[in-house]
Amino acid sequence: MKKKIVVLISVVAVLCFTFIACSNHSDTTKSQTNSSANNSSSLVRSYDNLKDLKKASEIIIEAEVTNDQKSFEYEHVTFTSSKVKVLKVHKGNVKESDILNILESGGISKDGFEISQDGVSVIKPSEHYLLFLYKYIGPVVTETNYQALGCYQGKFKIEKDNKVKQTAPDAAKTKDIENDILLDELVTKMKDTKED
């Protein structure tokens, strides 16, 4: 029993150290009007195509970000929890008008820096998104939160002209989803994609 506890503690310590080390590799830029930092890290799991995103998602929704958003620090890492209002459900056990919490790495640090993950900012109030989500389980928050698959790969911004933009950096973009695809076209493509 004692040996199992020691092994478990060792594994948790290594995972925490690895996460913090990856998260703390940052490029920082300061100017008079804007302070920001960009964290670079490797994705634990990457999603190369729409089929993989759809299959791995517990919930797929169109949502609007509310003004209820808070950034906080956990283990010297900045996180943001944002409330979103569900506009349309494509997969999962949620309803239109439900309010969900979305947890992301990044946001406004306690020092006033805007922290982004690989150049991708956290979702902002009043913006619309197509989100491929899974339920977060971990120590950062106690209430129910969801996260985008692949850190940002499951986060697609819906522009005012109804075009969808991948938020992921070029190297991590989902290969079979064109940038500026119309939302209706992407939804049709998603429905036609079999999960197997």
Contact indicator for 166, 186 with CB cutoff of 8 Å:
no
Supply the DSSP string of 25-77, one letter for each residue. Answer: -EEEEE-SS-EEEEE----SS---SHHHHHHH-SEEEEEEEEEEEEEEEETTE
Instruction: Please count the other Cβ atoms lying within 10 Å of the Cβ belonging to residue 63.
Output: 27
What is the pLDDT at residue 169? 82
Q: Write down the pLDDT at residue 195.
A: 81
Q: What is the pLDDT of residue 36?
A: 52
- In this prediction, residues 92-107 reach a mean pLDDT of 97
Question: What pLDDT does residue 37 have?
Answer: 55
Residue 45 pLDDT:
72
User: Which of the two residues, 1 and 95, has the higher pLDDT score?
Assistant: 95
- To the nearest whole number, what is the mean pLDDT of the chain? 82
Contact 82, 95 (CB under 8 A): no
Does 7 have pLDDT greater than 90?
Answer: no
Convert the pLDDT of each residue in 26-65 to its tens digit: 333 333 334 555 554 544 577 889 999 999 999 999 999 9
State residue 174's pLDDT score: 87
Predicted pLDDT of residue 44: 57
Any idea which residue has 């985008």 for tokens? 148
Overall average pLDDT of the 14-35 stretch: 38
How does pLDDT run across 135-192, given as a tens digit for each residue?
A: 999 999 999 999 999 888 999 999 999 999 999 888 888 888 988 999 999 999 999 9
Higher pLDDT, 189 or 7: 189
